Structure 1
Amino acid sequence: MHDTDGTHTRRFGLATATALVMGNIIGGGIFLLPASVAPFGTVSLVAFGVLTLGAIALALVFGRLARRDPRTGGPYVYARSAFGDFAGFLSAWSYWTMTWVSNAALAVAGVGYFHVLAGDRHSMGEDLTVALVALWLPALANFAGTRWVGAVQLVSTVLKFVPLLFVAVVGLFFFDPHKLGAFNEGGGSAIGGLSAAAAILLYSYVGVESAAMSAGEVRDPERNVGRASVLGVIGAAVVYLLGTVAVFGTVSHDRLVTSTAPFSEAVDVMFGGRWGGTVIAVAAVVSIVGALNGWTLMSAQAPYAAAKDGLFPVSFARRRRGVPTFGVLVGTVLASLLTVVNYVSGSGGVFKILVLITTFSATVPYLLAAAAQLYFLLTGRREQVRTGGFARDVVLAVAGFGFSFWLVAGAGYAAIYQGVLFLFAGVLVYVWMAARRQAVAPPSTTKSAPTVDAASSDAR
């Protein structure tokens, strides 16, 4: 096995890669999602459908790009290949910051569901301990290698998919159309209601890139990355859409809009009693642990690929059993520090700002990847993407770019403002790494072409 050049044995089959995509898309947010979109009415179901089409288009774009270059790093690899080092760095930097900050947010969210199982009596120290355990258990699975990551991801995806799908399917037998709200509950134009619901739902599909990001670990990536991306999106969409329909039709609308546990209330309506909360809390904990397992790996993949190209510190390129262990360690430590700050400070101010940053940071790699596909197609480099239908691929790339652009618009002004500031802060890291590369370059290189070195670097 060779873990340094990308030629090692690939450990993720199609099923595991699909589970990685689906598990990363479906985190803990699904358990509150029906209540979040209920104020907009059933137009939110239409928004789900539109967004699913956009996410599938983006998944197909990632599949096309993985045929061209099936290396670990996905969006980073494509952006750098098309637009040079700086664009590649921005993609890797954005993705990296998004992953470890969102991991901290997932861990904190998991504490709330843990309270349902363990009781409401708790202290700050206990909450912090639970959150840190939630971060480090998936990290340990990652340290053990991609086989363990894949096994945990497959099992956790099944364990959370089955109960959610069960509620969704059984809920159809208890469906009461009189409990539905109006089509456009918020009033005004239907397009306005659609856009408002979509703004909340947009980030439900972040994670579609997971198979492309770990393409170096996927068997037959030229075929399986695209398949896993599409299947993962469709699987997540089935859970999202059927689950939301089931909850809409079992919990009365006026009660749903104020609910803090819509799936639990739906289970209570279907079967009676008050045990629904416990069942859903277990599913939520499993879902969050599975998402943390996958996102912990993602937090190391982008800096790993960038480090191999000299755009991140070389330590991030160290890998053991298929996993960039240094990247996993750094990402988990940063997420842990952020979690500690959240609890010790007694104020979520800093934490909320960083979470806002993630909503923008997630979109930068998507936009650059879709733009890279368009660049390859429109500059006559169709052989770079190895596809047959030029018009079809252009339409898919434009749709993927449009979906990504919609993600940016849905993030809101505050997220974009904070995210751009944090993105530009990464320029200092790029300058530092570029200066280091220049300093260690052979003397003949700097003497022979002093005025074009930066340009040639960006052209690589």
Structure 2
Amino acid sequence: MSTATTTPRRTTEQPPAADRHTRRFGLPVATALVMGNIIGGGIFLLPASVAPHGTISLVAFGILTLGALALALVFGRLAHRHPRTGGPYVYAREAFGDFAGFLAVWSYWITAWVSNAALAVAAVGYLDVLVPLHDAKPATIGAALLIQWLPAVANLAGTRYVGAVQLVATVLKFVPLLLVAVGGFFFFDSANLGPFRGDADGSAAGAVTAAAAILLFSYLGVESAAVSAGEVRDPRRNVGRATVLGTLGAAALYLLTTVSVFGTVPHERLVESSAPFTDSVNLMFGGTWGGAAVACMALVSMVGALNGWTLLSAQTPYAAARDGLFPQVFTVKRRGVPTVGVLVTVVLASLLTVYNYTVGTEGVFETLVLVTTFTATVPYLLSTAAQLYFLISGQADRVHRARLVRDAVLALAAFGFSLWLVAGSGYAAVYQGVLFLFAGVLVHAVMSARKRRARAAAGTVNPAPLP
């Protein structure tokens, strides 16, 4: 029997205890959280990552933008009905019960800390512009770990500082993005674009799908405001608006900057680049001063993204732990931040970073990105399916009749979009992602058994007889 019919639900999130370290997010900060998490380190490296597929990847960007907007609107509607911390976890559990909720929180948690490792790898590429590491493995690993732990310290200081860092980082990251987006068109040369399809042997649809699987990393974070709904002021009103505004702003910058980089950096050089925005600015203005300035801004952007993603990676298991589906230690919260979740996440991301640099740096970023593509689509699929469930079941408290058709079309589009991304992740990413996902089944079995024993001890449920 679904727990949706046996477990009472809390419809609102209690505000964090008021102190000088805690502050609820308004619409500007919530929008900055969405944009900051979407426009993280991904955009600063992804033009080079998709360059081998050719300029057909711009078509993938356009399709991804439409899909991301559909997801944004669906998350906005879901957050309006369930304004609680947890986002996809809350929606999946409300619709389908504990196991679906656990799969959503487990896969989203994996996405968060693997994304942090990928962001650290991307950040090191730009740090190398400022402080040449010359592929020295100990120095590279140390730099990547430092980039991960600084945002974790900001999170542990409290939500007030998380919001401040996020707002400043979001504003500062616009400088290099706007510089490349606007300035690049004055130096645009169509000869730099390279082939329309990098892999002429495959189909156009296959090339678009493969490019989209990598590019999805650049749109991870569309659900940020929904995940942190409990920390957003007036979440029924602000979460949906922040989600749509943040996604639209990010999409506009993505398309402009990617086209600009493609047109200013020769294709052969872009394919090999570890800092494509720096290369673009250096080619625009000559010398290296511009590229160094862009590298600084890119690092600020990545630290800001890690700041937001670290919070999200702690919020989701916090919500599940309150419901008994994650270890109770994840409910420890100080200054508005789930401290244990932050620490566990940064430790796991650090270990993954060290492992990937130890076994070899070739294609590390792309490998991590494709794994997150698969794991991210699991909560997206469950969330859109939950929205369809709420609409089809016709529950009066969840459905606005006049909006039924529009909401259903959006949910179907978002579901199909997420399923398409699973297909585009590739066999290797799906294989690794499934291993991560199935490892969580054992965790769910242990947590479910403990939860049932606790209920039995309290006399609220009869223990099942042994066979």
Provide the residue aligned with 2:77 in structure 1. Answer: 64
Task: Please give the residue correspondences for 1:319-330 in structure 2 after superposition, counting only pairs within 5 Å.
Answer: 319-330=333-344
CA distance in 2, matches of 1:65, 1:287: 29
8 Å CA contact 2:118, 2:368 repeated in 1: no
Q: Which deviations, in whole Å up to 9, do the C-alpha atoms of 1:101-154 show, x marking residues without a partner?
A: 221232233223222111235743333332222122111111111111011011
Provide the residue aligned with 1:165 in structure 2. Answer: 178
Q: Secondary structure at the match of 1:419?
A: helix
Which of 101, 121, 124 is the matching residue for 2:114? 101
- Report deviation, 1:39: 3.9
Q: Which moved more, 1:178-187 or 1:139-148?
A: 178-187
Q: Which deviations, in whole Å up to 9, do the C-alpha atoms of 1:368-393 show, x marking residues without a partner?
A: 00000000001112531557411100
8 Å CA contact 1:171, 1:247 repeated in 2: yes
Which of 295, 298, 321 is the matching residue for 1:281? 295
CA distance in 2, matches of 1:105, 1:198: 17
Provide the residue aligned with 1:297 in structure 2. Answer: 311
Task: Please give the residue correspondences for 1:150-189 in structure 2 after superposition, counting only pairs within 5 Å.
Answer: 150-184=163-197, 186-187=199-200
Q: Which deviations, in whole Å up to 9, do the C-alpha atoms of 1:254-286 show, x marking residues without a partner?
A: 443444433223212321223343123212211
Change (3 A) 1:385 1:204: farther
Provide the residue aligned with 2:64 in structure 1. Answer: 51
CA distance in 2, matches of 1:107, 1:258: 19
CA distance in 1, matches of 2:409, 2:13: 34
CA distance in 1, matches of 2:88, 2:252: 26
Provide the residue aligned with 1:312 in structure 2. Answer: 326
Provide the residue aligned with 2:14 in structure 1. Answer: 6
CA distance in 2, matches of 1:175, 1:186: 24
Provide the residue aligned with 1:455 in structure 2. Answer: none
Provide the residue aligned with 2:394 in structure 1. Answer: 380
1:399 partner letter = A
Q: Which moved more, 1:364-373 or 1:6-15?
A: 6-15
8 Å CA contact 2:64, 2:212 repeated in 1: yes
8 Å CA contact 2:76, 2:243 repeated in 1: yes
Change (3 A) 1:112 1:37: closer
Structure 1 position 409 matched with structure 2 position 423? yes
Count of paired positions: 446
Structure 1 position 140 matched with structure 2 position 153? yes
Structure 1 position 92 matched with structure 2 position 100? no
Change (3 A) 1:387 1:320: farther
8 Å CA contact 1:46, 1:194 repeated in 2: yes
**Any stretches of 5+ residues in structure 1 without a counterpart?**
452-460
Structure 1 position 445 matched with structure 2 position 460? yes
Change (3 A) 1:364 1:178: same
CA distance in 1, matches of 2:348, 2:400: 39
- Report deviation, 1:178: 4.3
8 Å CA contact 1:68, 1:386 repeated in 2: no
- Report deviation, 1:439: 1.6
8 Å CA contact 2:225, 2:232 repeated in 1: yes
CA distance in 2, matches of 1:419, 1:335: 15
8 Å CA contact 2:173, 2:301 repeated in 1: yes
- Report deviation, 1:54: 0.6
**Any stretches of 5+ residues in structure 2 without a counterpart?**
1-11
8 Å CA contact 1:145, 1:320 repeated in 2: yes
Q: Secondary structure at the match of 1:270?
A: helix
Q: Which deviations, in whole Å up to 9, do the C-alpha atoms of 1:208-255 show, x marking residues without a partner?
A: 111110010111111211111111111211221101121222234444
Aligned-residue sequence identity (percent) comes to: 68
Q: Secondary structure at the match of 1:89?
A: helix
Change (3 A) 1:312 1:258: closer
8 Å CA contact 1:60, 1:396 repeated in 2: yes
1:295 partner letter = W
Q: Secondary structure at the match of 2:83?
A: coil
Change (3 A) 1:121 1:52: closer
Q: Which moved more, 1:280-289 or 1:75-84?
A: 280-289
Change (3 A) 1:189 1:409: closer
Change (3 A) 1:341 1:268: closer
- Report deviation, 1:410: 1.6
Q: Secondary structure at the match of 2:459?
A: helix
Q: Which moved more, 1:87-96 or 1:74-83?
A: 87-96
Q: Which moved more, 1:387-396 or 1:213-222?
A: 387-396
CA distance in 1, matches of 2:271, 2:359: 29
Normalised TM-score (structure 2): 0.88
CA distance in 1, matches of 2:281, 2:382: 42
Task: Please give the residue correspondences for 1:35-50 in structure 2 after superposition, counting only pairs within 5 Å.
Answer: 35-50=48-63
Change (3 A) 1:342 1:35: closer
Q: Secondary structure at the match of 1:139?
A: helix
Provide the residue aligned with 2:43 in structure 1. Answer: 30
CA distance in 1, matches of 2:450, 2:332: 19
Provide the residue aligned with 1:248 in structure 2. Answer: 262
Q: Which moved more, 1:207-216 or 1:258-267?
A: 258-267
Provide the residue aligned with 1:420 in structure 2. Answer: 434
Structure 1 position 395 matched with structure 2 position 395? no
Task: Please give the residue correspondences for 1:327-342 in structure 2 after superposition, counting only pairs within 5 Å.
Answer: 327-342=341-356
Q: Secondary structure at the match of 2:333?
A: coil
Change (3 A) 1:354 1:242: closer
1:359 partner letter = T
8 Å CA contact 1:64, 1:387 repeated in 2: no
Change (3 A) 1:276 1:387: farther
> C-alpha root-mean-square deviation of aligned residues, in Å?
2.5
CA distance in 2, matches of 1:44, 1:356: 16
8 Å CA contact 1:57, 1:399 repeated in 2: yes
CA distance in 2, matches of 1:183, 1:359: 24
Q: Which moved more, 1:191-200 or 1:360-369?
A: 191-200
CA distance in 2, matches of 1:399, 1:198: 16
